[in-house]
Structure 1
Amino acid sequence: MTTYSVLIPFVPRRPEQVLPYAALVQWTHAHRLWQGQSLLVDPYQGFAHAAGVGFRVPTGIGVSLMPLHHPYTAALQARSLSLTTGQPVLAGFGPGAPTFQRDLLGAPYASPLTAAREYLGTVRGLLTGRPVATEGSYYHCHAALPPSPGARVEVGLGVLRPGMARLAGELADTAITWLAPATYLRDTVVPALREGAERAGRKAAPTLTAVVPVALAVPDRDPAEFALAGSGAHLQGAHYRDMLRRAGINTTGSDPAADAKALVAGGAFVSGELPSLVEQLAEFAAAGADEVVLNLTGVFAACGPQVAMEQLKKILAALL
């Protein structure tokens, strides 16, 4: 059965800004609280703050960019959060854009797949408590984390294209998509996950979490406005445009308004009146998503926090 979760729809500047969303997850049947990579309040610290205030909820990081942390630090952070909250943690990772890799590492990964394989393999090994011996092209780690009981920590991999999906099928507990329409999950991501799992001899493919940008209809507002406000930065990334092209959604990166309309038309951005929106989200479940994360970033950016929270509550009530 598909679960529905909540993404914090902005980058918190103070940890207390996390609290209304942590409370929403704790007081409803929402499955998990998610936050993407932040260069302001780090998600691990924001979630730990919420736990200290009393909102101890399952959390997801989608996704932490690999160049920022050594795999040992990544595994330590994820386990520390699970021990702090007493709740499951899904720690998702991804290589980030080539420009980001170059700016932090001096050069982009020649093979992002190899880098991700080394990174996830090291993190997973450390979280089991056994000694890890990684001698890779990008990462070196001869160490172990002290064994400690605690809530489950799952390792996720950000997935846009088939190669990374196959790798997730081999190594990850969960594959995490962002901005991918339901048809692309069904036709491309899910088969690649199964292929990778079969190649690795796994009994089952990893679960699939889809982070989906959504907006309820607002009078006199074009849904493309919300799509642009929430996903405009992603449309500048060549790797996102390539994924969308594979999904049949052509974007150029040079005409933001047209690209936003293409997202809406192609089902990468879900919008409409509540019954229609619920039906569209059900398509992600039918396509193979085990968890759908409601991303109201566009509504937050265009209409403010109150409208975004009101919409989120209405959508959750209809879904759950």
Structure 2
Amino acid sequence: MTNFITGIHHVTAGVAGAQEDVDFFTQIVGQRMVKQTILFDGADSIYHLYYANRNAEIGTVMTTFPYKQAGVLARRGSGQVKITSYTAPESSLEFWQKHFDKHGVKHGAIETRFGQKRVHFVHPSGLEFEIVGDDNDKRDGWITDEISESEAVRGFHSVTMSVREVPEQERFLTEGLGFKKTGEEGPYHRFEIGEGGAKNTVFLLHEPDVPQGSWILGQGTVHHVAFAVQNDEEATKLKLHLEGLGYTDASEVKDRNYFHSVYVRSPGGILCEIATSDIGFATDEPLDGLGRSLLLPPWFEHRRQEVLATLEPITNPQAV
């Protein structure tokens, strides 16, 4: 198989309140809001919010659906992405602990796993994150009034998938997506693509006794992790490859405006997306003005006032 995957593309989760989420990612994590749009599938008007690094690069993009007003709850458990990890300079980890304390964010001590120091912290909706010390990540972080260049998150380091059984999920990652297994440490199994490291790493966390989580899109869980390919041709070839291995529930190609997507449910339960990298977030607004206003896909534009009337008002602090 030709290895089409170039790393993590984005991670998408369900959260509770919209303003609470905006404040968490822009003020606590220090990412840049790069897109305000809405859920493309379904009848309800739900925000789809995107956060990224300075240049809105693939492999830095966290996206969320605030589901509080829809009242949809999800159940955390195995078969989901348990932890989403960002990189930041290793020397900044003590800053991050103090920063979390200042803002009342639940967090852990500095720990080391696979030779890298990290700090665990929690979103108000219960989503789990880490800051991983990685001085090799040279991507440009976003700077805020409280977070300087020497402390800013650069983008994703990895995702950690909770699974009840490892072998079939390992086969999906290696034979299906082209990752290589590069280590084990306790219940953690590390897989890397390309040269490994930032945005090219996935961990499987073996949790045989943790009940299966729900797969619905709702508050408090990661809905899917997306892996990047270059274009539609590569996405289609990878879809056919996965189907040839027996993963027959791969979706048709979906237009997400800023990329095209194919979804497939992995054996461990985690929903994975194959997302293209050739469109980008500056297709409908300039790079220096990303995320400052609500953008709707063309097929929703005629309903703008109706959509606005149902959405929770939000303020993007970076646009004030």
Global fold match (TM > 0.5): no
Q: With CA pairs under 8 Å and 6+ residues apart, which has the higher RCO, 1 or 2?
A: 2
With the length of structure 2 as denominator, give the TM-score of the two structures. 0.31
Please state which structure has a larger fraction of its residues in helix. Answer: 1
Q: Please, what TM-score do these two structures have when normalized by structure 1?
A: 0.31
